Amino acid sequence: MEMMKTLTAFYFSGTGNTRYITEYLCGKLAPGFSCEIYEIARADDAARKIRQADVVLLAFPIYGSAPPIPMRQFVHKNGGLLRGKQILLVETQYFFSGDGAASLGRTVKKYGGNIIGAEMFNMPNNLADCKTFSVKNGPEIRKKLARARKRADRFAKRILEGKVRRRGFSPVSHGVGYFCQRKFWWNCESSKRNRLKIDPARCVGCGLCAKNCPAENLVFQDGRIKPNGTCVLCYRCVNLCPRKAITLFGAAPPETQYKGPRE
């Protein structure tokens, strides 16, 4: 009898979208794979897990057509183990990235990873303090999530049939991703990392943001919450703060906070 292949998924998710679609997709892949799912920050002994996996799935949200810093770091740290490994890429976005999946895929390829599939999923917006894009919750996002699940169904079917689909890997997508977004994003990323604003008039020092920050950026200092320059722009704190005291890109606090796909 043929042994079932092991698929190990590593994800980074600021506000839950990427986690949601990763878990859904792995559920759909269960007939062909024995799946394990890990958040990269909590994946103890990731090196051993990668070595033992037949297929490694990397899932991440897109930020300005670029992968988040923690996912880039994860790939560089474990790059040596990716040589010859079968890799699946899952990227989530609000509506546009051009080559979101390939933005990490190119790095994976440099390390010798064999990309057997890549897909990009439109998910609800989490940029809560950015006036250009509104945030929606509950019934208003159900259609979008249903569409994402359908796409995951098709992607899973292809993987199970052994068919390769690598969305975002064409030269046109590459050019669009770079010239429409990344070219400007790198400056934006570095300038915003130190600019997280916490309104002292609103903050009551409850510590929810510090407890949930995936980058240990928010710390207590003299009884107050202070950012320490390690922000990865994931927007978890902006969306979580019960007092709407935190802003990042916008000038004003968010009107609506994103509650995540399960709310």
- Binding residues vs ligand FMN (CB under 6 A): 13-18, 61-65, 92-97, 123, 125-127, 181, 233-235
Residue corresponding to tokens 């079917």: 157
Nearer residue to ligand FMN within complex by CB, 87 or 135: 135
**Both tokens assigned to 263:** 């709310």
Degrees to nearest 5, angle at CA 34 with 79 and 54: 35
Q: Smallest gap, in angstroms, from Cβ of residue 197 to ligand FMN?
A: 15
Q: What separation in angstroms does the CA of 218 have from each of 127, 153, 178, 239, 262? A: 19, 38, 31, 14, 25
Q: Smallest gap, in angstroms, from Cβ of residue 18 to ligand FMN?
A: 3
Nearer residue to ligand FMN within complex by CB, 11 or 33: 11
Nearer residue to ligand FMN within complex by CB, 3 or 95: 95
Residue corresponding to tokens 């998924």: 9
Q: Smallest gap, in angstroms, from Cβ of residue 241 to ligand FMN?
A: 15
Nearer residue to ligand FMN within complex by CB, 78 or 103: 103
Residue 211 CB-density burial (10 A; 0-12 exposed, 13-18 middle, 19+ buried)? exposed
CB 27 within 8 A of CB 68: no
Q: How many whole angstroms separate alpha carbon 84 and alpha carbon 214?
A: 30
Nearer residue to ligand FMN within complex by CB, 32 or 250: 250
Helix count and strand count (H, E) for the chain = 9, 10
Q: Smallest gap, in angstroms, from Cβ of residue 156 to ligand FMN?
A: 19
Q: Smallest gap, in angstroms, from Cβ of residue 257 to ligand FMN?
A: 12
184 three-class SS: helix
Question: For residues 154, 158, 161 and 163, what is the CA-based torsion angle, rounded to 10 degrees?
Answer: 160
Nearer residue to ligand FMN within complex by CB, 164 or 252: 252
- Can you give the length of the chain in residues? 263
Q: How many whole angstroms separate alpha carbon 26 and alpha carbon 19?
A: 11
Q: Smallest gap, in angstroms, from Cβ of residue 232 to ligand FMN?
A: 9
Q: Smallest gap, in angstroms, from Cβ of residue 258 to ligand FMN?
A: 8
3: left (phi over 0), alpha (psi -120 to 50) or beta: beta
Which run of H or of E encompasses 53?
Answer: none
Nearer residue to ligand FMN within complex by CB, 13 or 257: 13
